Structure 1
Amino acid sequence: MLNSLPRWAAAIALAAIAPLASAASTVLSFDDLATDFVPANYGGLDWTGSGWFSFDGTDTQRPYTPHSGNNLATLSWDGSDANSTVRFHQAATFEGAWFSGYAEGDVTFKLYYQGALVGTSATLLASATPSFLASGYAGLVDAVSITSAGHAFYAMDDFTFTAAVPEPETWALMLAGLAAVTAAARRRA
């Protein structure tokens, strides 16, 4: 039994960290929503400080053309930079989103981490053909604000982000803990 303890400790440690090593992108398509306000915790994000709502963007809604599915998210006519902010419950890497709409719907991402502006994307002029606006920033963020001169003139689809993966220091600490558990188990044996 004592001889198998190091193997059990290793198996438990690997099972605990395996999900962290395989972080996949999350894409919020808004297709699973009714045509109404985006829920407060939609997609595991905090939408409470925003004025986003979902609508069906079928061909009758052109130039608000979905990139995928039928639904899009947009702000109302009184939308502003202040109420366009989406907050992350856990820091993540924000990849970008697809936009369509009128040319007055120019959009730019402002990316924040711990209250500080850490990145600003290029500016995209919306059109009837959905276009991807990349964040242009590879670091961690905890809030994304969409800035525009005309918030009601664009719609957003396929909001894409990746949950944070532990930093190298965290991996080193986990591996050191695993080594200590293994060494202690071997001494007991």
Structure 2
Amino acid sequence: MKNFLIGLFASAGLLLAAQAGAGALNFDDLQADGELTPMTSPYAGLSWSSDWYLGDTSVEGYGNGAHSGALFVTNGYGVDDLGVSSSVGFNFAGAWFAAPATNGATASWINITAYDADNQLIGGTGKVAIGASYSWVAANFSHVARLNIARDDGWFVMDDFTLASAVPEPGRALLLGAGLLLLLSKMRPGPTVRDRTET
């Protein structure tokens, strides 16, 4: 039984390690105080270009600004490309985007492009239409050093910027497999008391 529990905990630990680094950034641990303010950088281990602004749903015209919670980020007007970068690289699943309910110009599409540490293009989403209701813009880019987020014109809001789990490295996958094999081997029933007395 002791070996069974060791195998169980080892496997669980490896599974949790494989999932490390995943999660959505909803910006709700920051403070906007009812106005658009320059985004804190670095935030969550990522560098955010100076044209990102933080806001909350009490800002006039941004009542629809948050996908979850009350805070979101938005672009500075007149900025065509905004950046998010990291010196160590990250895996990016996507984010939620909408056009705020302001009286000014609002974006009608978003395009996300990703680059690696050598400034080589990883991929792009193409122009994804957005409107007053939030839309998920899927990216699924791995080993990203820099993201560029572009739009056609005007403002957009972004929330739940989602980092993806890293694909387990071969060594980690082997360890995971070994832990599972140990777990399965310890689940085999051993000899019973009756079996021992009959021999």
Q: TM-score, normalised by structure 2?
A: 0.67
Q: What is aligned with 1:86?
A: 84
- Cα contact 2:97–2:159 (8 A) shared by 1: yes
One-letter amino acid of the counterpart of residue 69, structure 2: G
Q: What is aligned with 1:180?
A: none
Q: What is aligned with 1:99?
A: 97
Distance of 1:91 and 1:74 partners within structure 2: 23
- Same amino acid, percent of matched pairs: 30
Q: Does 1:52 align with 2:49?
A: no
Structure 1 or 2: more helix by fraction: 1
Q: TM-score, normalised by structure 1?
A: 0.70
Matches within 5 A, 1:1-189: 19-23=16-20, 25-35=22-32, 36-47=37-48, 49-58=49-58, 60-62=60-62, 64-81=64-81, 84-101=82-99, 104-114=107-117, 115-135=119-139, 137-150=140-153, 152-167=154-169, 169-171=170-172
Distance of 1:34 and 1:62 partners within structure 2: 15
After superposition, the Cα gap between the structure-2 partners of 1:79 and 1:14, relative to the gap in structure 1 and judged at 3 Å, is same
After superposition, the Cα gap between the structure-2 partners of 1:51 and 1:163, relative to the gap in structure 1 and judged at 3 Å, is farther
SS in 1 for 2:164: strand
Runs of 4+ in 1 over 4 A off after TM superposition: 13-19, 172-175
How far is 1:62 from its partner?
A: 4.4
- Cα contact 2:18–2:166 (8 A) shared by 1: no
- Cα contact 1:63–1:128 (8 A) shared by 2: no
Question: Which structure would you say has the larger Rg?
Answer: 2
- Cα contact 1:90–1:163 (8 A) shared by 2: no
How far is 1:20 from its partner?
A: 2.9
After superposition, the Cα gap between the structure-2 partners of 1:127 and 1:44, relative to the gap in structure 1 and judged at 3 Å, is same
Number of aligned residues: 167
- Cα contact 2:19–2:165 (8 A) shared by 1: no
- Cα contact 1:99–1:130 (8 A) shared by 2: yes
How far is 1:172 from its partner?
A: 7.0
Unaligned runs of 5+ in 1: 1-9, 176-189
